[in-house]
Amino acid sequence: MKLPKLLRLSPAAAPYALLLPFFALFAVFGLFPLLFSLWLAFQAWEPTDGLAAMRFVGLGNFAFALQDEWFWKSLKNTAWLAVASGVPQHLVAIPLAVFIHTRLQRLRNVAVGAYFLPYITSTVAISILFASLFSTDFGVVNAVLGRLFGIDAIDWLGQPENIKPAIATVVFWRYVGFNVVLYLAALQTIPKDLYEAATMDGASRWQQFVHITLPGLKPVMYFGVTLSIIGGLQLFEEPFILTGGRGGSDQAGMTTAMYLYRMAFDFNDFGAASAMSWLLFALVVGLTWATHRAFRPKAGQA
């Protein structure tokens, strides 16, 4: 088969041709929109007015965002949810992974599969299901709590103070298995003879866990925690579905990603929404950097 002359590339030109589709798409749908949103953050604009109606407002949108009570509330909600769903993920995933690694031989893949499954399923379908499980009068969650512990029915999705724990539960359930798999992979890279040597020296299991396992998991912990932070700060689908897209009573379930969506598509203020997205992005970058600092090997350590 002879290719047309145009397609007979020289080895020097080939990599550029091969990368062209990716970078062309990325430029149009990734980079340009991003720069555009940065520009938009300094404009006052409603889409119904047409592109010509944009007005430069300097830092006006940022000032508006920082004085907006709801924006601050959404940030607090997001932080609360990120911590309450993120920290337990790792506190459960690490011991669970160690447990599966050391104790489970047969059925190991089945167990890992069960924990991982929620990660690949549709957030919307699952959040809809949880909305029914969390229903006050006849939901499964309240039925189980009532039967086992005699707890009175809790209004999970109606009362402001209960919405966030309900959302955090769903998020935890969805991502804990992903972290288990990360930690399991890391555990396999810790040399067995370290444990053998420690046992010979009379180290207890707890000491081995603290002095061999945890340091061995540190690189993956850094990776996993970073992903949890980035993921936690962009929570959107779970709260969106569980609160019917409105944030729940007293906006207790409104995350910042949800709020900037509403700011743009419900309230038509694209400038302010863009400014908010850049403020949230700055927060993501700041926290990612702080995590990097926290996990950096200290002087004198390997």
- Give the footprint of another protein on residues 56-95 (CB under 8 A): 88, 91-92, 95
| CB closer to another protein, 105 vs 299 | 105
Compute φ and ψ for 42, nearest 5 degrees. Answer: -105, 10
Does 289 help bind another protein (rule: CB under 8 A)? no
* Rounded (5°) CA angle 141-147-150: 100
Amino acid at 255: T
Residue 120 C-beta: closest distance to another protein, Å: 5
Does 290 help bind another protein (rule: CB under 8 A)? no
Long-range contacts of range 111-119, CB-CB < 8 Å, 24 or more positions apart?
112/177, 112/180, 112/181, 112/184, 114/177, 115/176, 115/177, 115/180, 115/181, 116/177, 116/178, 116/180, 116/181, 117/177, 118/173, 118/174, 118/175, 118/177, 119/174, 119/175, 119/177, 119/178
| CB closer to another protein, 9 vs 63 | 9
- Residue ranges in 137-166 that form contacts with another protein under rule CB under 8 A: 137-140, 143, 147
Pairwise CA distance, residues 230 & 56, whole Å: 31
Does 199 help bind another protein (rule: CB under 8 A)? no
- Of the candidate spans 30-38, 59-67, 160-168, 192-200, the one that interacts with another protein by CB under 8 A turns out to be 30-38
Residue 264 C-beta: closest distance to another protein, Å: 5
Count of chain residues binding another protein (CB under 8 A): 113
| CB closer to another protein, 80 vs 136 | 136
Does 22 help bind another protein (rule: CB under 8 A)? yes
Question: What sign for the dihedral angle of Cα 105, 110, 112, 114?
Answer: negative
Selected binder of another protein within 43, 77, 85, 277 (CB under 8 A): 277
| CB closer to another protein, 162 vs 287 | 287
Pairwise CA distance, residues 272 & 267, whole Å: 10
Pairwise CA distance, residues 71 & 73, whole Å: 5
| CB closer to another protein, 80 vs 133 | 133
Does 120 help bind another protein (rule: CB under 8 A)? yes
- Residue ranges in 248-267 that form contacts with another protein under rule CB under 8 A: 256-257, 260-261, 264-265
